[in-house]
Structure 1
C-alpha cells in the first residue's frame, strides 16, 4: 500500500517569517509620538544578546523627526541607510570599527541593535538575499519573539513616522556582506548590501 500526503499537510501555509510569509512588524510593535502626547504603547522585542536593563527609547520632536537614544549600535551621524520610506539608523556605520561597541555576541553569533524608522502609512518588506540566509537574519516583530527571520514586513502607523527596535543577526564571527532586498508596497524590490565589519562590500 502506497502512503500519500494528506490534503491538510499539502495545503499548510508557509511559516511566519519565511520568504513566502514575511514576519509582520505591526504599528503596535513600534514607537510613535503625536502632537506632543506620550508615545503610544508597543510590544517589546528583546533580541538574544541585547544588553540587559532598559535602554533609552527613541524620541521624537514636535515636528515628527525621530531621534535615537544611546544604544549598542550607536553610529556617527550620516551613517543611516535609507531606502524609500524606510531608514535604518546607523546601519551604514557597521563596516568597521570596534565590533564589541556595536553589537552583542552569544554562542550563535552577533546581534547588532538597529532602530528602523518608517514613514507614515507605509508597508516595507525586507528580505535577506539567498546567499546569506544561512548566516544572517532579522530580529524584529515583538509578537514572534527574537528568532532571526529571513524576511520581515514593516507596517508603520497612520499619520506618524514609526520607530521599530530590533536587531540584525550574523552567525559565527558576525562579519559578512549581507544583501537585502527592500520592497515598498507592490513596487519592485531595491537591492542593497550591508557590511557587518567586512569593510567595503560589492554592490
Structure 2
C-alpha cells in the first residue's frame, strides 16, 4: 500500500512538472507587438491577471513652480483580447491645464501584448501644492467593460506611502519597539 502511494505521488509530480514546463515554454516563445517599440514591462506586483497594466510617470522631475511644463507619459500593456476600442481619459485637477496632447480618446486595433504610450504636456502641476493626475483606460473584453488606472502626485513626500515609515518609527520611539511588535501579532 505504501509503495502505491509513493508511485502515485511520483507520477502525479512528474505530470505536474511536464505541464508547467510546456506552459512556460510556450509563453516564452511569444513576442508581443508594440506600437511604440517599447521594452517596458510592468513590475510583477498587483493584479497580474488584469486586462490592462497602467503606469504613469513624468519624463523629468516634477518642477518647483506651477508655471513650468511637465510631460507625463502613460504606458498601457494590454493582457487580453479586446472586443472593441481601447478608451482612455486623463483626469486633471483644478489649476492644471493641457499644453499639448489629448485628454480622452479611443484607439482601435490594439492587440494582446501591445504597449500603448500616451503623452500629455501640462502646466500647473508642481511641488507648490499636492495635486494628482490620473490616467484611466477601459475596453470591452469577454462581454464586460473592464479597466484600470494609474495616478501620479506632485508631492510624493506627502503621500501615506512616504509618511508611514516615519510614523512607525515615531510610534516605536514613543511606545518602545516591543510594544509595537507585540500589538501586530
Higher relative contact order by CA 8 Å / sep ≥ 6: 1 or 2? 1
Larger radius of gyration: 2
With the length of structure 2 as denominator, give the TM-score of the two structures: 0.42
With the length of structure 1 as denominator, give the TM-score of the two structures: 0.39
The answer to which structure has the higher helix fraction is 2
